[in-house]
Amino acid sequence: MGKNVIKFVCGECGYESGKWLGRCPACNSWNTLQEERIDNKPRITGELKGRAVALSHIENERVERFSTGIGELDRVLGGGIVPGSLILLGGDPGIGKSTLLLQVADHIAGKGEKVLYLSGEESFKQIRLRSLRLGINNENIYLLNEQNIDFLGDFVQKIKPRLVIIDSIQTVYSGNLSSIPGSVSQLKECTARITELAKASDISVFLVGHVTKEGAIAGPKILEHMVDVVVYFEGEKNFAFRLLRGIKNRFGATDELGILEMTGQGLLEVKDPSQYFLDTEAKNVSGTAVAVSFEGSRPFLIEMQALVASSLPPYVRRMAFGIEQNRLALLIAVLEKRRGILLTNCDVYLKVTGGLFLKDPAVDLAVIGAVFSSYKDKPLPSDMVFIGEVGLSGKIRQVPFIDARLKEAEKMGYKKAVIPAGLSFKPGFDPRMEIIQVGMLDEFIEVLMEGWG
């Protein structure tokens, strides 16, 4: 018989220590080591249960995905749900995770399939109130309040659902472990048990995960390694838009982005995001520039707003909402060094409209355009878009998917586009816009000043 061993496990990275430490040596997080009792059971040996199979002998079977009923979620998942897959959905409290999954359950149940919804946080009455608000009343949705994951297999065998939703993975536990729900050992054990059940019964599972104050899914990183798909549900509560961002996907691309709108009737798809992220009313206002960002497999136009205000050094501020703050500071440094525009006595604020967070480097040119426009207090042309990455040398670097970006700008009625020099279009693509190619930051600034006369 093995003895029970007490270990201290980091809740962030899973590092184990024989004694308590204030700071984790692996991830440098403070006060994250928690006491856990580990059962050291003897290793069981016996006959092999599996067999090795040659790769060429495995049959080519086409995976038949099924839809969630929400096109934006299907896009992020790679075209729908793969049977037997484990999907981890993370997001801030109150962002709409339960609402989204209840809508998914309603769609699948409406096709005649059964859905098992295990809730470890809300009562039946709370879920019922949400379903009434969303207009969902389906007999094929089964609710379960059992937090012991050891009984999940019995319910699955009895109900035979197509989809299982567990809200959330931090609230369930296994009776085989003595640690509390949400601990590192329970998270790994429960996820492993659910994975085994999903693969054996070919049932898809949605796991809801809490997030930390830094925005990462709570628990060790191994939790994300164990599942097939990781999707982050992002957005500001003060904005109606919600973003679905794929972080990991064993069955598709990981750079897809889905956009939803929170309404009184639930989450609705935003199929044409460019119309939502542009302020068509604001004309002839300094400090605004329109960028064409490419997120996932589609482009959309979004407005960048900058404000340059006088300040007293050394208390100048650089604040960015929607892009990394260090990225804004870098672009300001390039503007100062390569063009001689001193902003050392100015506060610079930048905001991406709609609450989006952009990682596409092609918005650099629009950021500099908005900052320069606010600095001069002169508006940029309202029919012009900006596409290009800015290097530290001041060179305007080329970006991919230029044809798709320009098509989107044309569709929204824009007449001019500033793009990097040397870009070539695909055969057959003839843009009906005025194309202005710039190779260096100096050329770009001259184009802006010529527009002002």
Q: Which residues are annotated as a binding site for ATP?
A: 91-98
Instruction: Say which residues have a Cβ less than 8 Å from residue 235's Cβ, sequence separation at least 6.
Output: 95, 96, 241, 242, 243, 262, 355
3-state DSSP assignment of residue 285: coil
Binding-site residue ranges: 91-98
CA separation, residue 339 to residues 286, 313, 323, 394 (Å): 20, 21, 23, 9
CA torsion 83→224→218→187, rounded to 10°?
70
- Dist. CA 165–CA 190, nearest whole Å: 14
Kindly give the interhelix angle for 364-376 and 441-452, rounded to the nearest 10 degrees. Answer: 50
Task: Count other Cβ atoms within 10 Å, centred on residue 76.
Answer: 27
CA separation, residue 208 to residues 17, 90, 182 (Å): 28, 6, 12
Token code pair at residue 388: 């290009």
CA separation, residue 49 to residues 45, 46, 199, 393 (Å): 11, 9, 16, 61
CA separation, residue 142 to residues 105, 118, 451 (Å): 10, 8, 63
Strand order, beta sheet including 86-91: 141-144, 115-119, 163-167, 204-209, 86-91, 229-234, 241-249, 257-263, 266-269
Cβ–Cβ under 8 Å, residues 385 and 414: yes
- Dist. CA 88–CA 44, nearest whole Å: 31
DSSP-assigned beta bridge partners for residue 17: 8
Alpha helices (H) along 164-294: 184-201, 222-226
Helix (H) or strand (E) holding 267: strand 266-269
Sheet strands (E) in 286-422? 288-295, 298-310, 318-321, 346-352, 384-386, 389-390, 396-397, 416-420
